[in-house]
Amino acid sequence: MKMEPLNENELEWLDDVLTKYNTDQAILDVAELDGLITAVLSSPRPIEPEQWLVAIWGGPAYVPRWTSEKEMTRFMELVFQHMADTAARLEDYPEQFEPLFGLREVDGHELTIVEEWCFGYMRGVSLSDWSDLPDTLKPALEAIALHGTEENFALLDKMSPEAFDKSVDAIRIAALELHACGWRIRTRRRYRCR
State the pLDDT at residue 128. 96
State the pLDDT at residue 192. 52
In a domain, 113, yes or no: yes
The residues with which 105 forms a beta bridge, in sequence order, are 110
State the pLDDT at residue 3. 74
Structural domain that includes position 157: 8-186
In a domain, 166, yes or no: yes
Q: What is the pLDDT of residues 80-127, one digit of tens each?
A: 999 999 999 999 999 999 999 998 888 888 889 999 999 999 999 999
State the pLDDT at residue 1. 66
In a domain, 78, yes or no: yes
In a domain, 1, yes or no: no
In a domain, 54, yes or no: yes
In a domain, 191, yes or no: no
**pTM for this structure?**
0.93
Measured CA to CA in angstroms, residue 111 lies from 14, 101, 126, 184 at distances of 22, 10, 28, 35
The residue type at 104: R
In a domain, 116, yes or no: yes
In a domain, 3, yes or no: no
CATH of the domain at 118: 1.20.120.740
% of the chain surpassing 70 pLDDT: 95
State the pLDDT at residue 50. 96
The residues near 155 (Cβ < 8 Å, ≥ 6 apart) are: 146
State the pLDDT at residue 191. 47
Residue 112, classed as helix, strand or coil, is strand
**Alpha carbon distance 82, 63 (integer Å):** 20
State the pLDDT at residue 14. 98
Total domains present in the chain: 1
Q: Which residues of the chain have pLDDT under 50?
A: 189-191
